[in-house]
Amino acid sequence: MSKHGHPAVPKSSAAKPVAPSSRRRSLLAAGLVCVAALSTALGVRLWWGSASATAQAPVAPAAAAPRAAAQIPQSAPNARRPDTAAKVVAVVNGQPISREQLGQETLRRYGKDVVENLVNKHLILQACQQQGLQVTAQEIELEVSNMAAKFGLSKDRWLDMLQSERNINPEQYRNDIIWPTLALRKLAADKLEVTPAELQSALETEYGEQRQVRMIMIKDKARCQQVHAYLLSKPEEFGTVAKDYSEDKPSASARGLIPPVRLHVGEPAVEQAVFALKNEGDITDLVSAADHHFIFKLEKVLPDRTASIAAASRAQVEATLRDRLREEKLRDAAGDVFKKLQEGAQVVNVFNDPALKSQMPGVAATVNGQNLTVLQLAEECIARHGADVLEGEINRTLLQQQLKKANLTVEQQDI
pLDDT of 75 > 80? The answer is no
Q: What is the mean pLDDT of residues 382-395?
A: 92
pLDDT of 211 > 70? The answer is yes
Q: What is the mean pLDDT of residues 383-409?
A: 91
Q: Please, where in the chain does CATH 3.10.50.40 lie?
A: 1-30+209-303
**Concatenated DSSP letters of 194-231:** PPHHHHHHHHHHHHS-EEEEEEEEESSHHHHHHHHHHH
- According to the model, what pLDDT value does residue 79 have? 42
Q: What is the mean pLDDT of residues 374-397?
A: 92
From CA 322, how far away is CA 247, in angstroms rounded?
38
**φ and ψ at residue 247, rounded to 5 degrees:** -90, 0
- According to the model, what pLDDT value does residue 6 have? 59
Q: Is the pTM value of this prediction over 0.85? A: no
- According to the model, what pLDDT value does residue 86 have? 57
**Concatenated DSSP letters of 74-126:** TTSTT-----GGG-EEEEETTEEEEHHHHHHHHHHHHHHHHHHHHHHHHHHHH
pLDDT of 104 > 60? The answer is yes
**φ and ψ at residue 371, rounded to 5 degrees:** -85, 140
Q: Give me the chain's average pLDDT, please.
A: 81
From CA 323, how far away is CA 319, in angstroms rounded?
6
Q: Which long-range contacts (CB under 8 A, 24 or more apart) does 158-163 make?
A: none
pLDDT of 80 > 80? The answer is no
pLDDT of 263 > 90? The answer is yes
* Tens digits of residue pLDDT in 114-124: 999 899 999 99
Alpha helices by DSSP H, 5-56:
50-55
- According to the model, what pLDDT value does residue 336 have? 87
Q: What is the mean pLDDT of residues 340-364?
A: 92
- According to the model, what pLDDT value does residue 38 have? 24
- According to the model, what pLDDT value does residue 51 have? 41
From CA 383, how far away is CA 377, in angstroms rounded?
10
pLDDT of 16 > 60? The answer is no
pLDDT of 77 > 70? The answer is no
Classify 1-30+209-303 by CATH class: alpha beta
Q: For residue 383, how many other CB atoms are within 10 A of its CB?
A: 25
SS3 340: helix
Q: What is the mean pLDDT of residues 237-263?
A: 96
DSSP letter for 168, please: -
Q: For residue 40, how many other CB atoms are within 10 A of its CB?
A: 11
**At 370, which helix (H) or strand (E)?**
strand 370-373
- According to the model, what pLDDT value does residue 59 have? 38
- According to the model, what pLDDT value does residue 150 have? 86
* Tens digits of residue pLDDT in 20-51: 443 333 333 333 333 222 222 234 544 544 34
From CA 189, how far away is CA 193, in angstroms rounded?
7
pLDDT of 19 > 60? The answer is no
